[in-house]
Amino acid sequence: MLDIWLSGFLGLLEPTALTFLVIGMFVGLAFGAIPGLGGTTALALLIPITYGLEPFAALALAGGVMGAVPMGGSITAILLNTPGTAPNAAACLDGYPLAQQGKGGLAIGASASANALGGIIGTISVLLVIPIAREVVLIFGPPEFFLLAVLGLVVVSTTSRGQMLRSLLAGAFGLMLAFVGYSNVSGVERFTFGNTYLWDGIHLVPALIGLFAIAEMIHLSVKGGSVSHDSKNVKVIGMRQGMMETFNHMGTVVRGSLIGTIVGAVPGVGGTVASFMSYSMTMQASKNPDSFGKGNIQGVIAPEAAINAKDGSMLIPTLAFGIPGSAEMAVFLGLLVLHGMQPGPLMLIDHQVEIYGLIWALTASCVMAAFVGLLLVRPLAMVTLLDVKILVPIVVSVAMVGSYAVDLAIENVILTAIMGGIGYMMIRYDYSRLVLVVALVLGPTAERNYFQSMLISDGSWSIFFERIPSLILFVITISLIVYPIMGALLGRRKKQEGSGASGAGS
Amino acid sequence: MNKYFGSPLIEYLPALGFLVFTIIYLGLANSYVAVIGGEDDARAFPSGVAWVMLILTLLDLVSRSKTSTGKMLLRVLNPAGQDQGPVRGVKVPPGKQIIAILWIFGFAALMFVIGILFAVPIYAFVSMRFRSKLPFVLAASVTALLTLAIWLLFGAALRINFYQGIFFEF
């Protein structure tokens, strides 16, 4: 096994492969930073270019892109509250408040090192998991996918402490939007009003651009001034301190990376769920959960570690079964086929050197992108000082054109505008956009897998408790609901006992 | 401003918006009949979620009032809402907020009608020059650079065919 790992690594050191890795890394960084583009667009645009390349060089290019996109996306997420890619949206929650406090450098330093460490931990996990990949992925069936979707929703809904009602409302609203489109389960078009654009449902990327980028621009234009509240404080300082913060929170990094690795390996769940789940679990584990959303550095580290860790594990279902776990992986699958590599169990036997080369390329790109990203932070941080009168038209224009560019549909622009209006209202009236997004992603997965489970079990709900993996997921879900309630009740009881004792003492 | 059950009308707006949306959604959801599988499969999830949404919206609506039931609901279900006003951040007149949203819708409509490459410079220049009252030279320079950057990135580098608007499409 070690000789194959080494062959993959040495193959990457070939000048051609190394050159394409670096090119891919720069492309990924740039595409990640521009809202609406991301890794999927970058890979789709690069596929024709790789046609004349050796398969190893093409995979190095793809690895470079996929490894660097998260770092690019986190820079704009932190500085402008505009996630370059959907999974980076979680970094907005604490990264942007830090930027507003003049600590953009600290947040980006932490994000860069979390990205790199997450990538490395994810790679190690994948290298260990690949030999048993087939067994691991086969464990999951429709009941487990359904419960995983429910678990994702529960985890995120319980994060908004003190805002349960409005979080649940946002989640239900997200689910309602998630059911728009053609249903594979029932063969019916729902809520499309005859519009073919809506057949595929609410397009995620344009919706995210609206909810985050456009909504924030509306908020800024109403508020005036600049992104940073105090221009005197906006100095890109503290990057080294930010990097050290990541090492001070290694538990958060490891937890995030493991969540990213596990969730990434499950097809259809994706990086957005991984990053938000990592954020939520870190918040739940924290001794000071109320500081999240106000600029807690762990709120940046946790999702960023998960995003890069999931990249490696996402390859498992794609390579072993030809099941792409995300849109990015679907495009990547096209690249594999173009170069004569047929994904499936045989791929893990016939193309081991290429696979390990790709994994090394992903890791190298993560680490390089972190360093290059740090070099680019200073000029990018100056953006937060820009007057919103100039910044808003620029960001709105680029975001809207980026939204159109996702799949060359002008309807994307209209969707982005509508979601921007909704996102702004949610900001003003304090509804959680995070819960809405996760519900929007998980809604169709939950519905599809629920009906598949019912079909398998002939309508019996016992299927969700009969199998060990689904039972484990069910128990985790219930625990996540019960634990905070029990904690609150016990805390209240303790408080009452305390006040009773002090009353008796006096 | 008139108050209803102790709170101004603006406080109820989001919950009322959700209520109207949910009622329409529920009506539509119940009209779907599955083509594949069981007859109810098409509406089971949307309808179920919409009923839950209806309950949550009504709770949200009541929790926004200053009645004893409203205060109790807010304390139990959404305690974070107790120590804040109707809106987050600085208080801004509703008219200013509506105008800010309308600018975005206006830009989207402009893109739809005259295409991307005309809509971007018009929106950017008008926004900076007439809405924000920036100097003509600054507004024109930023507009030119922005349009050029968008053309270079999306048009020249990515070879994306820009949408040309409903009047210029063939």
Q: Who's near A318: CB < 8 A, 6+ residues apart?
A: A324, A325, A329, A332, A333, A343
Tell me if B42 and A185 make a contact (CB, 8 A cut-off): yes
pLDDT in tens, A299-309: 999 999 998 88
**Number of separate domains in chain B:** 2
The pLDDT score that the predictor gives to residue B87 is 47
Same domain, B48 and B110: no
Does position B170 have pLDDT exceeding 60, yes or no?
no
Tell me if A165 and B60 make a contact (CB, 8 A cut-off): yes
Helix, strand, coil share of chain B (percent; to 5) = 70, 0, 30
Burial class of A77 by CB neighbour count within 10 A (0 to 12, 13 to 18, 19+): buried
Same domain, B144 and B74: no
Percent of chain B with pLDDT over 90: 52
Identify the DSSP state of A226: B
Return the structure tokens found at A134. 């087939």
Same domain, B136 and B109: yes
**Contacting residues of B for A423, CB less than 8 Å apart:** none
Residue with tokens 């005309």: B118
The pLDDT score that the predictor gives to residue A233 is 46
**Contacting residues of B for A400, CB less than 8 Å apart:** 107-108, 111
Whether residue B87 is contained in a domain is answered as no
Helix (H) or strand (E) holding A181: strand A181-182
Same domain, B76 and B9: yes
Tell me if B42 and A389 make a contact (CB, 8 A cut-off): no
- Mean pLDDT computed over A207-228: 79
Strands B7-8 and A181-182 turn out to be unpaired
A175 vs chain B: nearest CA distance in angstroms? 7
Same domain, B60 and B108: no
- Mean pLDDT computed over A71-84: 81
- Gap between the Cα atoms of A152 and A137, Å rounded: 18
Tell me if A191 and B28 make a contact (CB, 8 A cut-off): yes
A318 vs chain B: nearest CA distance in angstroms? 26
- Mean pLDDT computed over B79-90: 55
- Gap between the Cα atoms of A212 and A433, Å rounded: 8
| Alpha-helix residue ranges (DSSP H) falling in A342-459 | 347-350, 352-381, 388-407, 410-428, 433-457
Q: In which domain, by residue range, is B103 found?
A: 94-157
**pLDDT band for position B95 (50/70/90)?**
confident
pLDDT in tens, A85-121: 778 888 888 888 888 887 888 888 899 899 889 888 8
Tell me if B160 and A421 make a contact (CB, 8 A cut-off): no
Q: Give the dihedral of Cα atoms B56, B58, B60, B63; nearest 10 deg.
A: -130
The pLDDT score that the predictor gives to residue B50 is 95
Q: Who's near B162: CB < 8 A, 6+ residues apart?
A: B115, B116, B117, B154, B155
Tell me if A176 and B87 make a contact (CB, 8 A cut-off): no
Amino acid at A494: K
Whether residue B163 is contained in a domain is answered as no
Whether residue B52 is contained in a domain is answered as yes
Does position A506 have pLDDT exceeding 50, yes or no?
no
| Alpha-helix residue ranges (DSSP H) falling in A140-249 | 142-157, 164-178, 204-208, 215-223, 239-248
Return the structure tokens found at A492. 């209240």
Tell me if A169 and B41 make a contact (CB, 8 A cut-off): no
C-alpha distance from residue A133 to each of A256, A312, A330, B154 (Å): 20, 12, 19, 39
**Contacting residues of A for B112, CB less than 8 Å apart:** 410, 413-414
Whether residue B19 is contained in a domain is answered as yes
- Mean pLDDT computed over A326-330: 70
Q: Who's near A495: CB < 8 A, 6+ residues apart?
A: none
Mean pLDDT (chain A, rounded) = 80
- Gap between the Cα atoms of A381 and A30, Å rounded: 15
**pLDDT band for position A62 (50/70/90)?**
confident
Residue of A227, A292, A410, A445 to mutate when probing chain B, most B C-beta within 10 A: A410
φ/ψ of residue A181, rounded to 5:
120, -175
Out of B81, B112, B135, a domain closes at B81
- Of residues A172, A396, A455, nearest to B49 (C-beta): A172
Does position A384 have pLDDT exceeding 70, yes or no?
no
The pLDDT score that the predictor gives to residue B86 is 45
Q: Which of A305-319, A352-366, B32-46, B103-117 has the highest mean pLDDT?
A: B103-117
Of the candidates A491, A431, A376, A428, the residue with the CA atom closest to the CA atom of residue A171: A431
- Mean pLDDT computed over A452-462: 88
Contact between residue A74 and residue A304 where contact means Cβ atoms under 8 Å apart:
yes
Q: How many residues does chain B have?
A: 170
- Gap between the Cα atoms of B66 and B72, Å rounded: 10
**pLDDT band for position A501 (50/70/90)?**
low
pLDDT in tens, A222-245: 887 665 555 554 556 677 888 888
The pLDDT score that the predictor gives to residue A327 is 64
Which residue of chain A comes nearest to B133, CA vs CA? A389
pLDDT in tens, B16-74: 999 999 999 999 999 988 877 777 888 889 999 999 999 999 999 998 888 888 888 88
Which residue of chain A comes nearest to B92, CA vs CA? A222
- Gap between the Cα atoms of A60 and A17, Å rounded: 6
Same domain, B25 and B48: yes
pLDDT in tens, A408-438: 899 999 999 999 999 999 988 888 887 887 7
Of the candidates A129, A132, A137, the residue with the CA atom closest to the CA atom of residue A359: A129
- Of residues A160, A430, A443, nearest to B88 (C-beta): A430
Q: How many CB atoms lie within 10 A of CB B69?
A: 11
Of the candidate ranges A332-341, A386-395, B23-32, the one whose mean pLDDT is the lowest: A332-341
Residue of B36, B45, B116, B148 to mutate when probing chain A, most A C-beta within 10 A: B45
Whether residue B152 is contained in a domain is answered as yes
Question: Residue ranges of the domains in chain A?
Answer: 2-490
Ramachandran bin of A266, using left for φ above 0, alpha for ψ from -120 to 50, beta for the remaining angles: beta
Tell me if B46 and A429 make a contact (CB, 8 A cut-off): no
| CA triple A82-A83-A87, angle to 5 deg | 155
Whether residue B169 is contained in a domain is answered as no
Does position A389 have pLDDT exceeding 60, yes or no?
yes
Same domain, B10 and B63: yes
Q: Which of A125-139, A334-348, A350-364 has the highest mean pLDDT?
A: A350-364
Residue of A31, A37, A96, A190 to mutate when probing chain B, most B C-beta within 10 A: A190
Same domain, B64 and B102: no
A428 vs chain B: nearest CA distance in angstroms? 5
